[in-house]
Amino acid sequence: MERRNFIKGIGVTALSASVLPSILQAEEIKAPTSPNALSYKDALKAITGGKTPAESPDIELIAPEIAENGAVVPIKVSVKSPMTDKEYVKTIHLISTENGNSRCADVLLTPMNGEAYFSTRIKLGKSQDVVAIAQMSDGRFLSAKKSVKVTIGGCG
């Protein structure tokens, strides 16, 4: 074999080796998708209609820093608001950044609630951020974010 051809050959094998694994990975990722799959970006768009919610200290999100079991992660959200007919929290949205379906819950409140508060337990597939978005009666969107480390994933 001539030297020139030999070097060409090395180049081709190196190229194919680098391309192949990425093709295989793409096929592997495709297989399991949630039936209600919705990415974090799309969920955010559906909630705020394109607006970017402002991070605010008025909204408090309590979540564990490390969740040993991703199938049960307790979450508490409370928003500072007088909850009168003129000024109240309309909705509290709970979403996660990496779950197949990033939506968790939408809570529609009324002034009769007295306090803007919602608590539940959610599933997290892996370590990610949990985001709470509150829509106020004047149309503003407030948000709070907290990252949760998950030891064992809880989505199937």
Binding site for other proteins (CB under 8 A): 32, 34-36, 71-73, 83, 96, 99-110, 112-123, 154-156
Contact 43, 128 (CB under 8 A): no
Residue owning tokens 């040993």: 68
- Of 123 and 134, the one with the shorter C-beta distance to other proteins is 123
* Smallest separation (angstroms) from other proteins to the CB of 65: 18
Report the candidate in 66, 63, 90 with the shortest Cα–Cα distance to residue 74.
Answer: 63
* Smallest separation (angstroms) from other proteins to the CB of 100: 7
* Smallest separation (angstroms) from other proteins to the CB of 137: 15
Q: Where are the beta strands (DSSP E) in the chain?
A: 54-55, 59-62, 66-69, 73-79, 89-96, 103-108, 116-122, 128-136, 141-152
- Of 13 and 120, the one with the shorter C-beta distance to other proteins is 120
- Of 13 and 33, the one with the shorter C-beta distance to other proteins is 33
* Smallest separation (angstroms) from other proteins to the CB of 29: 14
* Smallest separation (angstroms) from other proteins to the CB of 22: 24
- Of 7 and 133, the one with the shorter C-beta distance to other proteins is 133
Contact 77, 58 (CB under 8 A): no
Contact 115, 124 (CB under 8 A): no
The sign one gets for the Cα dihedral 143, 39, 50, 89 is: negative
- Of 21 and 32, the one with the shorter C-beta distance to other proteins is 32
